[in-house]
Amino acid sequence: MSDEVASREELLKTIDYVPAKQDLYKPNLEFRPGTWNYPANPKKAELVDLPYPREWNPTDLDWKLPENWKEIILKGMEERLDRYRSLRVYLDICVRCGACADKCHFYLGSGDPKNMPVARTELMRSIYRRYFTVGGKLLGGAAGGRELTEDVLKEWFYYYYQCTECRRCSVFCPYGIDTCEITMMGRELLNLVGIGINWIVEPLSNCFRTGNHLGIQPHAFADTVEFAMDDVEEITGVKVNVPMNKKGAEILFVTPSADYFAQPHWYTFLGYMMLFHELDLDYTMSSYASEGGNFGLFHSAEMMKRLNNKIYAEAQRLGVKWILGGECGHMWRVIHQYMDTINGPADFLEVPKSPITGTVFENAKATKMTHISEFTADLIKNNKLKLDPSRNDQWKITYHDSCNPARAMGLFEEPRYIINNVANNFYEMPENTIREKTFCCGSGSGLGTDENLEMRLRGGLPRGNAVKYVKERHGVNILTCMCAIDKATLPAVVDYWVGDVEIGGIHELVGNALIMKDEQKPRTTDLRGDPLPGVEGSEEGGE
């Protein structure tokens, strides 16, 4: 019997230490649960006339593609190569220098070589070579081309929904190739044959029909705003009023719907309302344009245009002078980089001018839409706000530059200026993880859903790692950011990689510090309802 027992060495050889080696040109079709998103609900897709709505499952062999899928994809590529010169240039000029390779948070977190931005682009570039270049047409694989097969399409689905379009890689590319745009094109092409994900299609469909991602109808939206007004009154004793659909108001305020629905966004929403009340601002919210976010950006240029148009149509209908935007991420990419060419010029509006300080926001001349952190920083700079930073002493704060305000707008200083004026304890994360080099939350561009949690945790590793560093070094206990997706998804990221760090918004801190003239008695809690430092029940105790 003993002769039949394998030796230790033999047994060891049976242990599979090493993951299978990957061939970059061979499609990877292993879809581990937790790493991909559920397909679009056909009913939601139909509501916005998306092509080939159907029930299908990424783990099935048959994705129920239309018969002429290959023709559709190649025609779609041809149209986009023609329409976007940038796409053709990006596909042609990469010299594979590798500068982008280790800059992607998904690559760093997954260790999957196909997540190197250069390799992710190669998934499409190989098809481009095969079908759209002379060398590829003649020599095929020898010229770096490959056949377009269903497996290639499946791999596109896997990897183009494993890029959050954060554009960190583009910061390091010596040629300025924006790999995010490759992902955008990949998703557009997939959507042409009805391959889309529900976390994108449902919000955009809801937004188109009811005004916001969550599908909250106008009366319920008005109610939630009313509940927030009640909360402000309960905490501060001040009754604030939020005008709704008010024609002739000076400013239309648009913010992501999560601000008036989810936590911790809610506290930021309270902060906005307190600030506007204190300024006696002539503004309005809109139940038609009740969403700042634009999931169309993650779907196709057409959907982005349709959703963005609602905000401007409403601004025109209400007759406002300009638009103020809340703490959102990708809304600002749409406004700053696409709005003027897809729906502009917004010449029925005026260049934003602060009614309080008289500052004209020349940088918003084209879109007539100003970011709330620019607006608030200007108020503080001009001494228009009375602030008590000690009301944020319970927090040791760090700031996550949300990708789009940072890389798509260059909005680095204003949030920091605000934080430093409304709080006493601010600590930066390391230089190579912030500002234009900021690491993504790992859940942007429509990937922030629960079925995709493991992939999100992979993507969140570098950000989590930097947060852990400031937590250990300075005792940081809150990570602030100004993006609704960050606020929704960073709790999971810090929970796994760091632990015991809260997530909050900039205007939550503003609301805490803001001394309101109508306040009759000292505040005892912060906007979360937790006792302020020095007050009975707080960690520091008190009388």
Q: How far is the CB of 537 from another protein (least distance, A)?
A: 22
Of 58-66, 303-311, 491-499, 515-523, the segment contacting another protein by CB under 8 A is 491-499
* Binding residue (CB under 8 A) for another protein from 164, 343, 367, 433: 433
Q: Is residue 175 within 8 Å of 93, Cβ to Cβ?
A: yes
Look at residues 269, 289, 266 and name the one whose alpha carbon lies nearest to residue 277: 269
| 362 lines the binding site for another protein (CB under 8 A) | no
Distances in Å between the alpha carbon of 492 and those of 258, 295, 486? Answer: 17, 21, 10
* Binding residue (CB under 8 A) for another protein from 86, 245, 363, 465: 465
- Prior bond to 345 cis, omega within 30? yes
- Distance of alpha carbon 147 from alpha carbon 431, whole angstroms: 43
* Binding residue (CB under 8 A) for another protein from 220, 342, 351, 366: 220
Q: How far is the CB of 400 from another protein (least distance, A)?
A: 14
Give every CB contact of residue 5 below 8 A, 6+ residues apart in sequence: none
Taking the least distance from each CB to another protein, the nearer of 103 and 130 is 103
* Binding residue (CB under 8 A) for another protein from 72, 73, 100, 116: 116
* Binding residue (CB under 8 A) for another protein from 135, 410, 430, 537: 430
Q: How far is the CB of 467 from another protein (least distance, A)?
A: 11
**Tokens encoding 369:** 């839409």
Q: What's the gap between Cα 280 and its chain centre? A: 31
Four-point Cα dihedral 161, 291, 397, 105, nearest 10: 10
Site string for another protein, 382-421 (x = CB under 8 A): ----------------------------------------
| 259 lines the binding site for another protein (CB under 8 A) | no
Q: How many CB atoms lie within 10 A of CB 127?
A: 24
| 233 lines the binding site for another protein (CB under 8 A) | no
**Tokens encoding 73:** 């994809």
Look at residues 390, 389, 370 and name the one whose alpha carbon lies nearest to residue 380: 389
| 436 lines the binding site for another protein (CB under 8 A) | no
- Strand segments, DSSP code E, in 374-440 are 397-399
Look at residues 266, 317, 316, 258 and name the one whose alpha carbon lies nearest to residue 290: 258
| 469 lines the binding site for another protein (CB under 8 A) | yes
| 454 lines the binding site for another protein (CB under 8 A) | yes
Interacting residues toward another protein by CB under 8 A: 12, 15-22, 24, 30, 32, 34-35, 102-103, 108-113, 116, 119, 220, 223-224, 227, 261-263, 430, 432-433, 450, 453-454, 457-458, 461-462, 465-466, 469, 491-492, 495-497
